[in-house]
Amino acid sequence: MAKTILVVDDEERLVSLLKAYLTQEGFRVVTADNGRAALFQARQEEPDLIVLDIMMPEMDGYEFMRMNSRERDAPIILLTAKIEESDKVLGLELGADDYVTKPFSPRELTARIRAVLRRAGKTAPEPEILQANDITLNRSGRYVKCGDRFIDLTPSEFDLLATLMSRPGHVFSRLELLDRLQGTAYEGYERTIDVHVRNLRSKIEPSPHLPRYVETVYGTGYRFAAETETEG
């Protein structure tokens, strides 16, 4: 079932843009243009996450957070043009889970949303051993084997491979992968992932220039091959 995102902002154009983009990304989106309307929507829709502007008419984001916290504990990402540290600290003290400063790209916000939902979600423990094609990855032992051969990977390469192997065939964007490796989408550049992928391929691929495991999906990101063809 699609996660419900409540987007609260008095900028109509921004709300329309975010609704269209997040819907395309697989979320169910409801909106409000001020804090009072947001309280009503939160009660009716019980969103999984709230994207909340601070400066709004009738009721600002801070007051919404004070009132909303009495009724529910949905994670909140603050969305604001204010950049003063005191504003950020106040928002976090009131219970915000993350903070995004305008201007921003919808892709960046989407990565933040996925990261917060992942941290907030009550998911089953990740399997200790991942196996796909002839690659075996042991999380607790922190080792990787390709067939009978052990592969020496850096921590970043190991975490990158573990993420890709956790969902063979699923396309991860560079921003998603950067978030998995570093904990926040802003701590580095998306192209950092290209370097890690290149290094990873040099270690696990029979022919790094013709990868059979870590595939590039142009314009999007990378995936671990769901299946590989065998000769014979």
Q: What is the pLDDT of residues 139-183, one digit of tens each?
A: 888 999 998 899 999 888 999 999 999 888 888 888 778 777 765
Q: Which two tokens stand for residue 9?
A: 């902002």
Domain ranges of the chain: 4-120, 129-224
Is the CATH number 1.10.10.10 carried by domain 129-224?
Answer: yes
Q: What is the pLDDT of residues 67-111, one digit of tens each?
A: 888 877 789 998 877 666 666 677 777 778 888 888 888 988 998
Give the distance from CA 89 to its chain's centroid: 23
Round to whole Å and give the CA distance between 100 and 81.
9
Task: Write the CB contacts of 198 (distance below 8 Å, at least 6 apart in sequence).
Answer: 208
| Residue 40, burial from CB neighbour count under 10 angstroms (0-12, 13-18, 19+) | exposed
The topology (CATH level 3) of 4-120 is: Rossmann fold (3.40.50)
* Contact of 156 with 146, CB cutoff 8 Å: no
CA torsion through residues 163, 164, 166, 167, sign: positive
Instruction: Give the global pTM.
Output: 0.56
